[in-house]
Chain A
Amino acid sequence: MMRINKVLSLGLLLATATNQMAQDSSATKARIELSGNYAINSNAITAKFYEHFYYGGFIDNELKDQVAHRLSANNSFGVEAESKVLYFSEPIIGQWSVYAGLGYSVDLGTQFTRDLFNVVFYGNAAYANKTADLSETQVKYLESQSLHFGLSRALKTDSSTAKKSIQFGFNVVKGQNWYDIKVDKGSLFTEQNGAFLDIVLKGNSYHSDNTRSDLAAFNGVGLGLNFAYKVEKKNGIQYSVELANLGLMQWGAHSVHSSVDTSFHFEGLAINNIFTISDSTFNNISVAGASDHLKSETKSQTMVLPFTIRGKYLYPLNANNYLTAELNYKYWANYIPKLMLSYGYRLSTLWSVELSGGYGGYGQMHAGLAAKYSAAHVQLSAGASDFLGFVAPSSFSNQGAFVMASYVF
């Protein structure tokens, strides 16, 4: 039994796995950690618009106008949601402790032009005798569940260092649902009276088997690697770097890849005799324009998992005040590096609060608020990673919240 444990441990070491380093991985006691967060970010889509779109309801012109005023040439919208439970053991192989857990995540990243929003939500009537630019449109969506395994240990410290730890791990990812639509080049010209449309479309789309996409669907499998390194200086300065979920996902044979690279002039359905028009004639019009130019194939697909690179630096101002800088990047859609600066204030030995602001991701400007509780065995934190979307949903886009609880045995 001992031998088996050693072999397993060696295997895990070689596998270089990880976990996010939000917590002190060098702890010498076992602990369990439960976390969940979600964030909805956009540079243009207001929170209220999104709520109507996502949760149902009529999107009136006022809602559309609020978005329209915020649109730039290229826009983004993203949703990140994740929940996770992890168990960290006491050191069991020398200084190494083992962790394992379960995770669930949703990643949606979209990019769209102003014209696309206007055509979809206002219609193309406003583009009579104009060309709507639909290029660089992208929708990437992934919903998955994962099993987490890894090792962590405390490293030797020097005279200036209080704690130092490193962590390796891997995730086995179960793919539930996946869409990846990219329009590299697209435009729509509408003749003044609608007599014809000139459509240019070049792009690709992928999606997993859409005959089944519920929680139990097992449409793909992937492997992601994790790494984390954290240092706490005796002077209170902390910094860490983290790489999460770097890997590949293989989607099953029922996945579909479609591509289109065409430009066509559509004048409606050609008929021989206008005296034979019926409603079925009109039903065929949409079919005539689209499907003829689409090439599709059904086969297995491989994709890069949405991995994350994160660096964090904490600088204590004094015993009760500190500043934090955090830089995040997610490889997914048009996510841009996100820099967050926060100010923390320790209310007591147990409680502290943080106020943050930043730029990047899908939503550009961010403002957050959090509270933390830290006792001998229990750590709690909760807050809004983006609160402006809650406070003024008609004017702001970003909404985000998180909760984390950890118990040290």
Chain B
Amino acid sequence: MRKIIVLFFALCAVFSACRKDLSSSSWDAHEITPLIHSSMSIEDLMGSDLAQKNNDNSVSVVYKQLMYSANTDSMLRFRDTTFTYGASLSTLILTDDSVVHPITLGSIARGQGFLGAIILASQGNMVSFPALNNISSSNIAIDGGAFFETMDVQSGFMDITIRNGLKVDITTLDFLLSNQVGLSTIVSGSFPPIPAGTSQLMSFVLDGKTINSKMLGKITTLNTAASPGTVLVDTNNAVTTVIKIRDLKPKTATAFFPDQDVFNETQGIMLGTGGKMMLSDMTVKEGTVNVEFFSSINDTIFFSYKIPSASIGGVPFQIDTFVPPAPIGEKVSLIYSYPFKGYHLNMRGFGIENQLNVDLNQNGHLDADTVNTIVQQLVGKIKSKNQMVTLALGDTFYVNAGLHGIVPSYVLGYVADQTMKVGPSTVGMSVFDKYQSGSLKMEDLNVSLEVKNGFGVKLKVDAQNISGHNSKTGKTVVLTNAETSAPIMLDKALDPFVNGDITYSTKLISLNKSNSNIKDFMEIFPNQLNYQMTAQLNPDLPSIPYQTVLATPPNFVYSATGLEATMNVEIPLSLMADSLLLADTMDFSLAKSDQSERLNSAKFTLITENGFPFSTNISIYMLDASMQKMDSLFVNGLVAAGTVAQEGGEWKVTEKTMSTIVFEVPAGKIENLFNTKKLLVLADFNTAQPKTDFAKIYSDYAIDFKLSGDFDFKVKLK
């Protein structure tokens, strides 16, 4: 039984397995099918951006060719500006300090033997003192450890003040101050006589000295005069020594440094505008503030860089950062770059003090406005800590801070009377790129040269040479017109702060058949436009006091708007074409697919019904990636002109004309079609009306296309 069941399922499997293998079945079939159809008006053929319908439904070609466009980039250039501030230990300060040490009469007496015993015994009595000579003190320990540990002094002073608290005059006082370690002398000297109850100060230069915090002081010789009579003996009366160290600038020091500014600089920096340009305001479009720090100081430097003249929304540009301590004998360097875009610069220098009401440069008054100048402040600080720091004279700290790549989006002021030179330059006129040969006569045309000034600056534009050139025929026509030959004066644009947007100052020069040779110019189909011109800024304002610039700025410039020269072309399509050959290329891509690879051959039929008054002889070639001709799709396919007749003196199309173009694509050509990257279309136009007359093109003229394919291909199931 089991075998029978197995046999049954085997039969099922056989049927099922035999069921489908249709994927490899194939056959050749010959199919004809419509592919595309289209009806194209002159607007479709030329593009809606070129074709313009007139009131009488005729069509004109409208084309704008930008000849020249200049903005602030060619006018306002700023050199990069770098400012360096440096500081070393010599600019650091140590706190002035003093040590007070009294030597009492008692202590002096105890060193004077018998006489001293008498003095001690006379305490509280009226005694007549004899003169005392050659009194000396023992070494007195003086400790400056609360302020420093050691220092090699670059410069500084030690002030020693002796106050004579005795009842007798001191006639001689010699002293010696030395370091405890090594007993090297710091200072020594002799005081002049010091009357009783008075003080005497002597200053000593410490330059080159090494001072330790542990010092020894000694009065080596003390002579006193005899008392003028009896005086009250008080052993607590003292000769007091006050040792003060001041104005110290150490070569090296291990000390407690107080809070102090390493540097604090406020400067006005003139931006490198060049020439006579005077600016009071600027808005930055591009640029950075670059700051470089270098430090060999073994302490943290707290740094603040501020440009009070630069602000966004009233908030000034400011950087607060710090430079960590440099390892001893090494340097630390940090480089930061901060975006400066959008900042408004008040370029009136220290005149900004009036706006801020702050005496930034601390010269005691608020300064007056100037131009081209910004104010910046650099402050470097050391903050005291609970530990001594070793600093050396060679330790340095310096900052390079600067503005880099500054490009303004707006400036206000006076941009001088500079002259911008333009050209000789060439721009392509793409509207005529398709022209190859033949002639096209235009019944009329309107061309205007439009010069627009978007600068807040008066301009004198001198168009020295405008010519059209056809690179295919080699023909050149120089434009002649009285207005373009003379300088063109352009008023300045209106200030946007008043009107909200710039209003260009525009000069329109009309060129037509009667005032120029523009028809000849255009009928060579110039695909290149050559020009050369100069634009002088502020032609009537060669100089101006800066005070006037500040009071009533004569110029403004926005980077987004500038000087533009445009040629506006309007050609009514009333034409006479004689073997006018136009060429154009169009992208083409036919990807290989399973379907396309099964195509054996094809035949295409293009049926046209032409409603235009011109015939076209069309050839289409296949181009490879390097724009080389590989093959033709078809050659000289004639699309006959629509039937024309004269109505009211004008030639008009009365009926469309049908033409059929059949082209075969045999197997060999199909492979070329796959490799085709572009199609080159050559169209030879001839107007249908007599060669002496013009024919207008109307917006309702159209040509209908129907493309069908006749395919011999392999049908493959699945």
Task: List residues of chain A with CB under 8 Å of any chain B CB.
Answer: 32, 34, 36, 38, 52-61, 64, 81, 83-85, 87, 102, 104, 106, 120-126, 128, 143, 145, 190-191, 193-197, 215, 266-279, 281-282, 285
- Known pairs A58-B26, A125-B30; A274 contacts B605 (CB<8 A): no
Instruction: Give A239 to B119 CA distance when docked, in angstroms.
Output: 174
Q: Determine whether the beta carbon of B36 is less than 8 Å from that of A84.
A: no
Instruction: Give A112 to B384 CA distance when docked, in angstroms.
Output: 106
In the assembled complex, the CB of A344 is this many whole angstroms from the nearest CB of chain B, namely 26
Q: Determine whether the beta carbon of B15 is less than 8 Å from that of A195.
A: no
Which of B8, B23, B33 is within 8 Å of A56, CB to CB?
A: B23
CB contacts (< 8 Å) of A269 on chain B: these are 35-37
Q: Determine whether the beta carbon of B29 is less than 8 Å from that of A83.
A: no
Q: List 9 A-B contacts (CB under 8 A).
A: A38-B15, A56-B22, A56-B24, A59-B25, A83-B11, A145-B12, A193-B708, A270-B38, A279-B596
Q: Determine whether the beta carbon of B15 is less than 8 Å from that of A81.
A: yes
Instruction: Give A320 to B609 CA distance when docked, in angstroms.
Output: 82
CB contacts (< 8 Å) of A53 on chain B: these are 22, 25
- Pick the interface stretch among B457-465, B500-508, B583-591: B583-591
In the assembled complex, the CB of B476 is this many whole angstroms from the nearest CB of chain A, namely 31
Q: Determine whether the beta carbon of B38 is less than 8 Å from that of A104.
A: no
CB contacts (< 8 Å) of A52 on chain B: these are 25
CB contacts (< 8 Å) of A58 on chain B: these are 25-27
- Known pairs A34-B8, A58-B26, A278-B588; A268 contacts B710 (CB<8 A): no
In the assembled complex, the CB of B481 is this many whole angstroms from the nearest CB of chain A, namely 36
- Known pairs A58-B27, A124-B32; A272 contacts B44 (CB<8 A): yes
Which of A34, A122, A268 is within 8 Å of B36, CB to CB?
A: A268
Q: Determine whether the beta carbon of A124 is less than 8 Å from that of B25.
A: no
CB contacts (< 8 Å) of A197 on chain B: these are 33-34
In the assembled complex, the CB of B595 is this many whole angstroms from the nearest CB of chain A, namely 9
Instruction: Give A254 to B56 CA distance when docked, in angstroms.
Output: 62
In this complex, the interface size class of chain B, counting residues with CB under 8 Å from chain A, is: 35 or more
Name the interface residues of B588-622: CB closer than 8 Å to any CB of A. 588-591, 596, 605, 607
Q: Which residue of B lies closest to A126 (CB)?
A: B30
Instruction: Give A56 to B20 CA distance when docked, in angstroms.
Output: 9
CB contacts (< 8 Å) of B8 on chain A: these are 34, 83-85, 102, 104
Q: Determine whether the beta carbon of B24 is less than 8 Å from that of A85.
A: no
> Which 8 pairs, one residue from A and one from B, show the smallest C-beta to C-beta distance?
A56-B24, A194-B32, A194-B708, A268-B34, A123-B30, A123-B29, A83-B11, A59-B27
Instruction: Give A274 to B584 CA distance when docked, in angstroms.
Output: 13
- Known pairs A58-B27, A194-B708, A279-B589; A85 contacts B4 (CB<8 A): yes
Instruction: Give A102 to B607 CA distance when docked, in angstroms.
Output: 63
Q: Determine whether the beta carbon of A268 is less than 8 Å from that of B30.
A: no
In the assembled complex, the CB of B218 is this many whole angstroms from the nearest CB of chain A, namely 108
Q: Which residue of A lies closest to B34 (CB)?
A: A268
Instruction: Give A32 to B706 CA distance when docked, in angstroms.
Output: 70
Q: Which residue of A lies closest to B662 (CB)?
A: A193
Q: Which residue of A lies closest to B13 (CB)?
A: A215
In the assembled complex, the CB of B35 is this many whole angstroms from the nearest CB of chain A, namely 5
- Known pairs A194-B605, A195-B34; A54 contacts B22 (CB<8 A): yes
- Known pairs A36-B11, A54-B21, A106-B19; A194 contacts B27 (CB<8 A): no
Q: Determine whether the beta carbon of B15 is less than 8 Å from that of A57.
A: no
- Known pairs A58-B27, A273-B44; A196 contacts B34 (CB<8 A): yes
CB contacts (< 8 Å) of A84 on chain B: these are 8
The reply on B16 being an interface residue by CB < 8 A is yes
The reply on B539 being an interface residue by CB < 8 A is no
The reply on B707 being an interface residue by CB < 8 A is yes
- Known pairs A53-B25, A277-B36; A125 contacts B710 (CB<8 A): yes
Which of B25, B33, B40, B705 is within 8 Å of A54, CB to CB?
A: B25
In the assembled complex, the CB of A99 is this many whole angstroms from the nearest CB of chain B, namely 14
In the assembled complex, the CB of A147 is this many whole angstroms from the nearest CB of chain B, namely 12
Q: Which residue of B lies closest to A56 (CB)?
A: B24
Q: Determine whether the beta carbon of A193 is less than 8 Å from that of B35.
A: no
Most interface-central of B29, B44, B596 (chain A CB within 10 A): B29
Q: Which residue of B lies closest to A268 (CB)?
A: B34
Q: Determine whether the beta carbon of A268 is less than 8 Å from that of B707.
A: yes
Q: Determine whether the beta carbon of A193 is less than 8 Å from that of B605.
A: yes
Instruction: Give A349 to B76 CA distance when docked, in angstroms.
Output: 122
Instruction: Give A64 to B25 CA distance when docked, in angstroms.
Output: 13
Instruction: Give A85 to B7 CA distance when docked, in angstroms.
Output: 9
Supplied contacts A122-B30, A194-B33, 20 more A-B pairs, CB within 8 Å: A53-B25, A57-B24, A57-B26, A59-B27, A84-B8, A104-B12, A121-B27, A124-B31, A193-B605, A193-B708, A194-B710, A197-B33, A197-B34, A267-B34, A268-B708, A270-B38, A272-B44, A274-B40, A275-B584, A279-B596
Q: Determine whether the beta carbon of A83 is less than 8 Å from that of B12.
A: yes
- Known pairs A56-B23, A58-B27, A85-B5; A194 contacts B36 (CB<8 A): no
The reply on B660 being an interface residue by CB < 8 A is yes
Q: Determine whether the beta carbon of B34 is less than 8 Å from that of A83.
A: no
Q: Determine whether the beta carbon of B35 is less than 8 Å from that of A268.
A: yes
CB contacts (< 8 Å) of B11 on chain A: these are 36, 83, 104
Q: Determine whether the beta carbon of B605 is less than 8 Å from that of A195.
A: yes
Q: Determine whether the beta carbon of A32 is less than 8 Å from that of B707.
A: no
The reply on B183 being an interface residue by CB < 8 A is no
Most interface-central of A64, A104, A194 (chain B CB within 10 A): A194
Instruction: Give A274 to B589 CA distance when docked, in angstroms.
Output: 14
CB contacts (< 8 Å) of A32 on chain B: these are 1, 4
In the assembled complex, the CB of A66 is this many whole angstroms from the nearest CB of chain B, namely 13
CB contacts (< 8 Å) of A104 on chain B: these are 8, 11-12, 15-16
Q: Determine whether the beta carbon of B710 is less than 8 Å from that of A106.
A: no
CB contacts (< 8 Å) of B18 on chain A: these are 55
Instruction: Give A75 to B650 CA distance when docked, in angstroms.
Output: 64
Q: Determine whether the beta carbon of A282 is less than 8 Å from that of B35.
A: yes
The reply on B709 being an interface residue by CB < 8 A is yes
- Known pairs A34-B7, A58-B27, A83-B11; A267 contacts B605 (CB<8 A): no
Q: Determine whether the beta carbon of A266 is less than 8 Å from that of B588.
A: no
CB contacts (< 8 Å) of B715 on chain A: these are 120-121
CB contacts (< 8 Å) of A36 on chain B: these are 11
Q: Determine whether the beta carbon of A55 is less than 8 Å from that of B27.
A: no
In the assembled complex, the CB of B14 is this many whole angstroms from the nearest CB of chain A, namely 8
Instruction: Give A200 to B417 CA distance when docked, in angstroms.
Output: 81
- Known pairs A56-B22, A85-B4; A266 contacts B34 (CB<8 A): yes
Instruction: Give A166 to B22 CA distance when docked, in angstroms.
Output: 43
Q: Determine whether the beta carbon of A270 is less than 8 Å from that of B37.
A: yes
Q: Determine whether the beta carbon of A190 is less than 8 Å from that of B32.
A: yes
Q: Determine whether the beta carbon of A270 is less than 8 Å from that of B36.
A: yes
Instruction: Give A34 to B9 CA distance when docked, in angstroms.
Output: 11
Which of B15, B22, B32, B40 is within 8 Å of A106, CB to CB?
A: B15
- Known pairs A145-B12, A274-B38; A125 contacts B31 (CB<8 A): yes
In the assembled complex, the CB of A217 is this many whole angstroms from the nearest CB of chain B, namely 11
Most interface-central of B34, B37, B596, B705 (chain A CB within 10 A): B34
Q: Determine whether the beta carbon of B27 is less than 8 Å from that of A56.
A: no
Instruction: Give A58 to B28 CA distance when docked, in angstroms.
Output: 9
In the assembled complex, the CB of A134 is this many whole angstroms from the nearest CB of chain B, namely 15
- Known pairs A32-B1, A85-B4, A128-B32; A56 contacts B706 (CB<8 A): no
CB contacts (< 8 Å) of B709 on chain A: these are 194
Q: Determine whether the beta carbon of A271 is less than 8 Å from that of B31.
A: no
Instruction: Give A34 to B7 CA distance when docked, in angstroms.
Output: 8
CB contacts (< 8 Å) of B589 on chain A: these are 278-279
Which of B27, B37, B590, B660 is within 8 Å of A64, CB to CB?
A: B27
Which of A57, A194, A268 is within 8 Å of B25, CB to CB?
A: A57
CB contacts (< 8 Å) of A194 on chain B: these are 32-34, 605, 708-710
Q: Determine whether the beta carbon of B706 is less than 8 Å from that of A83.
A: no
Instruction: Give A114 to B25 CA distance when docked, in angstroms.
Output: 20
Instruction: Give A169 to B705 CA distance when docked, in angstroms.
Output: 68
Contact string against A for B residues 687-718, beta-carbon threshold 8 Å, 1 for contact and 0 otherwise: 00000000000000000011111100001000
Q: Which residue of A lies closest to B591 (CB)?
A: A279
CB contacts (< 8 Å) of A38 on chain B: these are 15
Instruction: Give A53 to B591 CA distance when docked, in angstroms.
Output: 29
CB contacts (< 8 Å) of B681 on chain A: these are 275
